[in-house]
Amino acid sequence: MLCDAGGRLAKLRLVDTDAPDGNSVLDWRALNRANWDDRVPVHLASDGYDLPRFRAGRDSLRPFELAEAGDVTGKRLVHLQCHIGVDVLSWARHGALVSGLDFSGPAIRAAQSLAAELGTEASFVVSDVYDAVDAFGGQRFDIVYTSVGSLVWLPDIPRWAQVVAALLVPGGYLYLVDGHPFAQILDEADGAVVTYDYFDDRPQIIDYPWSYTGGPSRLEHSRNVQFQHGIGKIVTALVAAGLRIEFLHEHDFDDFPRFESLRRQADRGYRLPAGLPRIPMMFSLRASRPG
C-alpha cells in the first residue's frame, strides 16, 4: 500500500506482461533503487520517522519485536534492507553489535551520518541483498533481522533465504517481521473485499509519486516494482535453505494505516474498529540455523 500527500491510501498494480519472471525485460532493481534513493530526503524530514524524537531516545522497534527476538546483548546482528538505519541503531541501544545493508547509497550515507551523530558504533555497507555474503567478506552473524516492507521488493525468495542462511553462524537465527501477504490483496477501504490475486507472483509495476510517510514532496522516480509472496512460499524457502522454523505469529494490527478504516492505538499500532472481523496484517517469524 502507498500513502499520498493527503494521507489517503492507494495501490496501482500494472502488470508488465513482457517480464513474467521479473528479470527478462523489466529492470526492477534499477527502478527500485532510483525510487528508494528519492525517498531518503523525504523520510529524513518526515513525521513518520520522527528523527528528532529518535535522536532523543525514541525506540523504533515494536514491543513485540523485543520480546520475540530475545536478549540481543553482545550478539552480532545484521539488518538487511536497513534503509536509513533507525532500526539498526535501535538494536544497538539494546546491546547488539550492529551492521546494516541497503542497496541505496543515499540511505546508507544517511545511516552512517546518524550513527556518527549519536556516537553509536555501527557498520553499514551498500549492496544488493542478494550480494550480502560477499559484501560482508565472509563475516557471519548471530542474528539476521529483516523488517516490515522488505520481501515485496525481492523477486526470488528461495535465493533470499539461501543468503540469510549463509550469513548465520550455527545456532544463529533469522528474525523476520513483515506485512502479511493476505492484507496485500484486500481493498484499501476497510480490508473487507479481496481485490488482488494472492497467488499472482508476477512483477507489479506501481507508478505513484509519494512515499508511505505522506507529506508534500513528490518523488522524481515514481515507478517501483513489487512482488507478492505467500506465507507458504516464504516458510518453504527458509526450510529448504536449512533453517528450522521456531515460530510463525500472525498479528491483527499494522504499523501504518493500510486501510482507511484502521484506527491508531495507544501502542502506536493500527487496528480495525471493534465489531469488524479481524484479519492478519503483519507476521513475525523466527528461524534458526542448526548448530
* DSSP single-letter state for residue 79: E
Q: Report which of residues 78 and 258 the model is more confident about.
A: 78
Alpha-carbon dihedral angle through residues 254, 260, 263, 264, given to the nearest 10 degrees? 60
Provide the pLDDT for residue 10.
Answer: 41
**Grid coordinates representing 1?**
500500500
Q: How confident is the model at residue 25 (pLDDT cuts 50, 70, 90)?
A: low
Q: Would you say how long the chain is, in residues?
A: 291
Reported as a single tens digit per residue, the pLDDT across 206-241 is: 998 888 887 778 999 999 999 999 999 999 999 999
Domain count, the chain: 1
Write out the residue range of the structural domain in which residue 270 sits.
2-288
CATH number (domain holding residue 137): 3.40.50.150
3-state SS of 105-124 is: HHHHHHHHHHHHHHCCCEEE
Alpha-carbon dihedral angle through residues 238, 243, 245, 250, given to the nearest 10 degrees? -30
Task: Give the C-alpha separation, 35 to 31, whole Å.
Answer: 6
Burial (CB count <10 Å: 0-12, 13-18, 19+), residue 72: buried
Provide the pLDDT for residue 7.
Answer: 31
Provide the pLDDT for residue 103.
Answer: 97
**Grid coordinates representing 200?**
499472482
Q: Which residues pair with 226 in a beta bridge?
A: 204
> Are the beta carbons of 258 and 271 closer than 8 angstroms?
no
Q: Looking at residues 154-158, what average pLDDT do you find?
A: 97
Provide the pLDDT for residue 184.
Answer: 87
pLDDT of 19 strictly over 50: no
Q: Report which of residues 108 and 261 the model is more confident about.
A: 108
Reported as a single tens digit per residue, the pLDDT across 167-209 is: 999 999 999 999 999 988 887 766 778 888 999 989 999 998 8
For the chain, give the mean pLDDT.
88
